[in-house]
Structure 1
């Protein structure tokens, strides 16, 4: 059975959102019957200019029923035309799934599809979505969310995670993992995973500090004292502490705690280890120390994160 995928674009759509087509392309095994057929659609058809400039050819909206309709996002908050909103409303009836990429969630919300539902979008726009649409249960720190057939994703590259999750739902986790591997993606991210990265937040400018941070992330079980990290950076402990704060804006101790919280959170969301095991693996030593670090870093204890991951999985 071939599943028909529609991707709705509009003037100023974010070009990166079309990366999802690579996921569906790789799901179609060479020589076999196509699993997915992708069609780009727009209100007027023809060439539609992207946010970056290049235009994409499209087919005009019609009465075709899609297995899944994706709605692209924009760099800012998209201003959907009446025709696009009506098309999206009809698609919610005709299609098995409707999915919004990044700020495409604003279009679904404007069309009335997200009222009473959980949804996410780019972290920089999440609070604006909540302000404009108070009936939507916006969860700003999620990669993607599915709620009763309506899917939404975080910004930019999270569209790939959304597409892989849909392929996983259709064809199984092994197929999705195989596609992720061929796309050279680091791993298959669950929807409940955080949009943030501790390493990206730190952004050291020198190779020395980056080397010390990479060592820390790969060896979280160790004590990771300033002396250990300074040795990796080929600096004295005093020079290291001064350079680290100048480049990252944080003390080494605070940065290491952020890396440990991030690693522990991923393990909790995976659901395979107990809090005691996770505390040992990530260098916290005991669950109570880990709990205090979680409250400081993200404002909630590990048990709340675990409960949220279970609810998302359910």
Structure 2
């Protein structure tokens, strides 16, 4: 059976948000599992992408039948100033008749504006995660995820993460073997190696709403190497450790210790990318020892500091940190 899929596009859409998923689905068809893909737009006709090429012959939402999956592509202007009304109307009409709804990059702002992500987990490009959380406080934004599946809604991170998202859709539909074959054909990772979740960590966490927690997290970000144990932070904020833990869980959906570790890990990653040694990165990030650094990398990123630096560091040497 052919799976019917619609991609919602619009003027200034990011081309790779569209072409990446479509290429994954094209490969699925070549391997015997066809997807019937239709480009939809608010007005129909031709759509000009942000990089210039034109997507020709799109169909309006009003003229479309039901689909199995809807994918909403992204563009910078969906985050700021926000999705236009005609795009929201088209997305709402299509989503109402579609079993599974997905977004690439800032396409999540469309779903959020329609209220479809309320009380659900979601992600978007790390650069826009704060804006999504601030504008739509009922959405549980996960800024470090490549893609998030909650109910019938799937959201993905920036641009190329649309490929990761679509591989996940294919895996859901036809199993991991097909998704693996497509990833091999496209020379991409079926599941990206550790460290490439989004290159965003606690620094992209939605800002705390309470002034007390906001000041406390700012102090951790300003100096990750200081004493940020739970008793020390509670004393600094003049609250009980129990109350502070409750604030972290309510507003940041994590524990104080885990959040501090992510901040320190973010600092250590940047130090490694700048060319510093593992020992220096551990010391100047507040993680302390090489072993603590390795455990944090394994726990959060599924890789080692050495492998992370090999894969992502610049080819230019940096002066050693002293």
Q: Shorter chain as normaliser: what TM range?
A: 0.5 to 0.7
Q: Does 1:248 align with 2:278?
A: no
User: For the residues of structure 2 that align with 1:127 and 1:197, how far apart are their CA atoms?
Assistant: 11
Q: What is the aligned-residue RMSD (CA, Å)? A: 3.1
1:7 corresponds in structure 2 to 7
User: For the residues of structure 2 that align with 1:283 and 1:116, how far apart are their CA atoms?
Assistant: 35
2:100 corresponds in structure 1 to 97
1:265 corresponds in structure 2 to 300
Q: Does 1:72 align with 2:73?
A: yes
CA shift, 1:116, in A, is: 1.1
- Given the superposition, is the C-alpha separation of residues 164 and 283 from structure 1 closer, same or farther in structure 2, using an over 3 Å criterion? closer
Length, aligned pairs only = 224
CA shift, 1:264, in A, is: 4.5
Q: TM-score, normalised by structure 1?
A: 0.64
CA shift, 1:35, in A, is: 2.2
1:296 corresponds in structure 2 to none
CA shift, 1:20, in A, is: 0.7
Deviation string, structure 1 residues 166-204 (Cα, Å, up to 9, x no partner):
000000011111111111013424999721289xxxxxx
Q: How does 1:194-213 map to 2 (within 5 A)?
A: 194-196=197-199
Q: What residue ranges of structure 2 are gaps of 5+ in the alignment?
A: 202-270, 283-289, 307-322
1:144 corresponds in structure 2 to 147
Q: TM-score, normalised by structure 2?
A: 0.62
User: For the residues of structure 1 that align with 2:27 and 2:273, how far apart are their CA atoms?
Assistant: 41
Name the SS of the counterpart of 2:67 in structure 1.
Answer: coil
Name the SS of the counterpart of 1:40 in structure 2.
Answer: strand
1:117 corresponds in structure 2 to 120
User: For the residues of structure 2 that align with 1:92 and 1:189, how far apart are their CA atoms?
Assistant: 29
CA shift, 1:110, in A, is: 1.0
Name the SS of the counterpart of 1:28 in structure 2.
Answer: helix
Q: How does 1:1-314 map to 2 (within 5 A)?
A: 1-18=1-18, 19-29=20-30, 32=32, 35-57=34-56, 58-61=58-61, 62-76=63-77, 77=79, 79-189=82-192, 194-196=197-199, 248=274, 250-255=276-281, 261-267=296-302, 282=304
- Given the superposition, is the C-alpha separation of residues 138 and 246 from structure 1 closer, same or farther in structure 2, using an over 3 Å criterion? closer
User: For the residues of structure 2 that align with 1:260 and 1:192, how far apart are their CA atoms?
Assistant: 14
Contact 1:97 1:150 survives alignment (8 Å): yes
Name the SS of the counterpart of 2:76 in structure 1.
Answer: coil
- Given the superposition, is the C-alpha separation of residues 123 and 254 from structure 1 closer, same or farther in structure 2, using an over 3 Å criterion? farther
Deviation string, structure 1 residues 223-265 (Cα, Å, up to 9, x no partner):
xxxxxxxxxxxxxxxxxxxxxx898174542447667743453
- Given the superposition, is the C-alpha separation of residues 140 and 246 from structure 1 closer, same or farther in structure 2, using an over 3 Å criterion? closer
User: For the residues of structure 2 that align with 1:191 and 1:5, how far apart are their CA atoms?
Assistant: 30
User: For the residues of structure 1 that align with 2:151 and 2:195, how far apart are their CA atoms?
Assistant: 16
1:274 corresponds in structure 2 to none
- Given the superposition, is the C-alpha separation of residues 246 and 120 from structure 1 closer, same or farther in structure 2, using an over 3 Å criterion? closer
Name the SS of the counterpart of 2:83 in structure 1.
Answer: coil
CA shift, 1:87, in A, is: 2.3
